Structure formats: structure tokens, C-alpha cells
Amino acid sequence: MSKTWTLEIQQHEDGEYFIEFPDEVLEGAGWKEGDVIDWSDNGDGSWTLKKLDKNHENTDASKE
């Protein structure tokens, strides 16, 4: 089962945009600093993020 979170896009004082992932999100998604994340546009204003393995392949078995 998937879990969803809604996070705000923030803007750094230099103009760059970023998303800060709270610890709860990182733990819930099984991510850690340094992981490579694939961003997929759902076409409705939302995005699906999935962790890629060390070979930069999707770790979600349903995508195979």
C-alpha cells in the first residue's frame, strides 16, 4: 500500500527552489540522504517519487 504526503515547495534566498523532506517522510519511504530519487509527473499537478537502486533502476517491483 502506498502512503502519500503533501510537501511545500520552498524558495531559498538565492532563488533556488527545494523541498525539505521531514524525517517521518524519509523513514516512511525507506529513504536516506544520498539516495537517488526518480520524479514522475502524474500530469495532474502531482508527482510520484520512487527510490532508484544503485544502478539507477526503479526499485518498485510493480514497474517491471
Q: What is the pLDDT of residues 34-50, one digit of tens each?
A: 899 999 999 998 888 89
pLDDT (0 to 100) of residue 63? 46
In angstroms, rounded to a whole number, what is the distance separating the alpha carbons of residues 45 and 22? 21
Query: pTM score, two decimals?
Result: 0.60
Q: What is the pLDDT of residue 15?
A: 95
**pLDDT tens readout for residues 5-37:** 888 889 999 999 998 888 988 888 889 888 999
Residue 25's φ and ψ, nearest 5 degrees, are -70, -45
Look at residue 14 in the predicted model and tell me its pLDDT. 96
5 neighbors 25 (Cβ within 8 angstroms): yes
pLDDT at 62 > cutoff 60: no
The SS3 of residue 62 is helix
